[in-house]
A = this chain, B = another copy of it.
């Protein structure tokens, strides 16, 4: 325990902000304008060259590629990643409600574009379950399982699968455009709005959706894809209605696979250090299932649904359909955001681990182009999958060469080996998807942790998750974002205000309720505003301040005016020989704010003259005040601690001006203390000052203001010219 015996000794003049500015001149800094920045940016030819180069990061990392040291690792990693990518491609195409071969396309085309444009060297580009499900939602909305497809001219003469592929590629193309645009306009920072809590709640909800969507495969049932709010409820209902027609063969196979894969994965985790490579249990199980299904002819014998005919080779490019884009525009936006957010956060983890820079906006461009390029060749929305990337990195991949090789593997399967996968039961794929949800579903355990630590954060998690489960992923994300942004407002909106007092013998000020040895000079109140002031809390502070000082200055002012009118009347009746200039009511309001007849202009100051042409000054602190029914005000100085006020908006300034004027007019001096330099600038910019509110009310520290105030109060003396008694 370090005891501090050092002494804190300060002796200096008391400063107000004005006198401080007099003594210490401020350097006149010239702030660059946006124009200057742009000019400087483009005048630097090196920077331009660098910016041009940064558009094709492949050039830079290929230059420094160490062939001998890295190539082997990349090839090994590429092959292992390729196996996983093929598996996931098949499985996630079920989520997207598309034929399995398009999952393989997604493991191929986007990777090529990302190879050239991406800045991350470790992420494995391709399908991502949440995104695939979001594509699936659009697909089943426009081309439902049963019932006619949406009224889109291009759908005529297409089979259902072709219609679906057209929908998926069009929506993916749009998603790519959105990402590209975001990258070009450098707005990649929007992903900062997706906090860990939000992403956790959202992905958990996605896992629930994925689970439900795979149940039909595991049970071997036919359920039409349902989208829109409450789709999950309707889907579950349709499932349970036909639960009796469950395909036992599918169910047994799925359960066996889930159990085996789960156990082996746990073992992989436990003996990670000892195993050279994790056991590729999913690939093994798939091969076994394929073999058994083919050997025992599951399709015919048990009516098991299999992957079925795989398109061999690639199809001609397809143009995105404008009708679909128009219809699905709203859904592409959350897809673009989610796809990028996940990929970027995964890329960030590995860039920190391996110490290289990634560029958010370039990543957006890379994913935008990847998705547009892929969509043209009928692949669906690409991002990255956490598990696949982990395989790529842990098996020795150092650059996107590994990605390229995994893409080649997918190509080989597409071109030559696809037929081998045809007898694979869909239930096996479903089971593999489900067993991989463990990590995402385990995020539910965060809820009690968040609840104990921060209720507000817990509300964000639960709100996002619930909304995303019941309203669908796109709407859910919007709701979650809204809730999250509201929490920021909410945290700043109802802070705990406090009245401070001096800690005896120091220059420190603390909440007076918290300490015993405090000193509060009579007639002085220090009110701390512990948060920024803006439209949503200016009224709150007004009320808290009135509560803290114990009276409403506006009401006091009104009572005083009433009393003054009464006195005036009495004076006139009693024929005092005083020449009076009775103007109706002096309107001394020089506010330069537009005084429009808005429906909510808070208060008409003009109705409240604060000076009356009386031939004497009334001492409102005397006995007389209470005789006239005017509340006595014992407050002489009000110190507002602004140290935590980090910004003010127009509503705040209007509200502050009003309340400060009210206090000034009931003869309470107001001081604003510890105001940030930028906030002080705001005061000036908004023409806050006039003949009543002036800059001398600003003080750098509470103690400066306090020293000033207590000495002023001691020397001030009120000498009323007329001691009125009840006449």
Contacts and interface: CB of A to CB of B under 8 A. Distances in A.
A596 B197 CA distance: 12
Contacts of A506: 10, 12, 15
B708 A346 contact: no
| Residues of A in contact with B, size category | 35 or more
A482 B484 contact: no
- Copies of this chain per assembly: 2
Contacts of A492: 488, 492, 532, 646-647
A197 B26 contact: no
A352 B603 contact: yes
A532 B531 contact: yes
A147 interface: no
Interface in A358-406: 386
A517 interface: yes
Contacts of A495: 646-647, 678
B453 A685 contact: yes
Contacts of A5: 13
A600 B196 contact: yes
Contacts of A700: 508
A106 interface: no
Contacts of A457: 649-650
A646 B643 CA distance: 10
Interface string A155-198: 00000000000000000000000000000000000001101111
A6 interface: yes
A534 interface: yes
Given A13-B4, A506-B10, A651-B195, A26 B515 contact: yes
A355 interface: yes
Nearest to A514: B26
A7 B203 CA distance: 61
A60 interface: no
A6 B707 contact: yes
Given A488-B534, A599-B199, A7 B16 contact: no
A188 to B, nearest CB: 12
Given A345-B599, A491-B534, A643-B644, 9 more contacts: A2-B696, A8-B12, A8-B704, A25-B515, A203-B599, A353-B607, A446-B594, A485-B486, A531-B532
26 contacts: A6-B707, A8-B15, A8-B507, A8-B704, A10-B703, A12-B505, A12-B506, A12-B507, A29-B514, A196-B600, A196-B601, A197-B535, A197-B651, A199-B599, A203-B599, A341-B600, A348-B600, A353-B603, A446-B594, A454-B650, A457-B650, A487-B649, A491-B532, A508-B701, A531-B532, A532-B646
